[in-house]
Amino acid sequence: MNEQELYKVLGEKGLSSADIIDFDDEGCDILIEWGDWKHDHIYLNHIMQEQGYTLIGERVTKEDGSDCYSSVHSFYKLKV
């Protein structure tokens, strides 16, 4: 899967607001800006797991105490 194919999958799953900020053969980093913890952040992790990626970290970049926040999710591509 390349970066454009991953953008297509995210868009088809309703996460067109997800921004791939780094992508290579080993994995990727995806930014979610002001997304809901359940409907955006956890959903992204689920979609990426379906695509063969493992979450290796999440770094919160903005928060205000509500259910929405911004963060960068880092994923590692599982080798088959």
Structure confidence by residue, pLDDT tens digits, 26-43: 999 999 999 998 899 999
What's the pTM?
Answer: 0.93
Residue 80 or 10, more confident: 10
Q: To 10 degrees, the CA torsion angle through 31, 36, 41, 44? A: -90
Which are the contacts of 60, defined by CB distance < 8 A and separation ≥ 6? 69, 70, 71
| Cα pseudo-dihedral 78, 71, 37, 15, rounded to 10 | -70
Amino acid at 17: S
Q: What is the pLDDT of residue 14?
A: 94
Q: Using a pLDDT cut of 90, give the percent of the chain over it.
A: 85
